[in-house]
Structure formats: structure tokens, C-alpha cells
Amino acid sequence: MTAPGHSPPVRPWTVWTPLGVALAVVLFLATVGSLGVGFGVMTNCTNTYSCTSTGCEPCATTSAWLTAGWIGQGVLLLVAVALVVLAVRHRRLPAVRATALVLTPLSVALVVVTTALATTAV
């Protein structure tokens, strides 16, 4: 039983499920997902405009949005790794769990938004 106004302690094993999901999703989207989206969107752009990613304005803007999304996924991946380090050391487990729960939808939203912006730039 906990005192009134205090939350119960977070058990270490309750942190690993959301953290594992967040790490897997961010790692996938930072690598395979970004590569797939970039290949598909840039192939469409270069085929439509017969230019390279830096050769004409629509494809350069598209490439910039895709690069921004990839960099954002890289930052989220670094955050996920930092959370793993904190969880292994049993430090700030409630904050680690809360951040891990936010990281997964944030990563998916980042891909969706940057892909949408990249495709509307064309």
C-alpha cells in the first residue's frame, strides 16, 4: 500500500515491454522504413520530372523532407538507446516508461508527416 498522494513504484519489468516496442519501431522506421519510403517517393519524383534529387526544385524539396524525417528518426533512436541505458541501471523508471510510451506513436507520426510533406512538395 502506498501513502496518499504517492504513486506506487514502477517495477523494472513493466518498463521493458513499452521500451522494447518503442526501440523496435524506431529502429525499423529509422532504417528499413526510411529507406523504403525514400526509395518509393524519390523514384516517383525522379521518374515524373526526369531529374535527380538535386537537379530540380520539386525533387530537391522532396529529398529535403525525407532527409529531415530520417534525421528525426535518428534522434528518436538515440533517445530510445538512452532510455535502455537508464532502464538497465534502474534509473528514473517511471520517466523511462512514460517516454517509451510516447516514443512509438511519435516515431510513426514523424514518418507520416514527413512523407506527406515530401509527396506534397512534388
Domain boundaries of the chain, sorted by first residue: 13-120
For 7, phi then psi, to 5°, come to -85, 150
Quick one: 21 exposed, middle or buried, by C-beta within 10 A (0-12, 13-18, 19+)?
A: middle
pLDDT tens-digit map of 2-35: 555 555 555 656 788 888 999 999 999 999 888 8
Mean pLDDT for the chain overall: 85
pLDDT: is 9 or 79 the higher one? 79
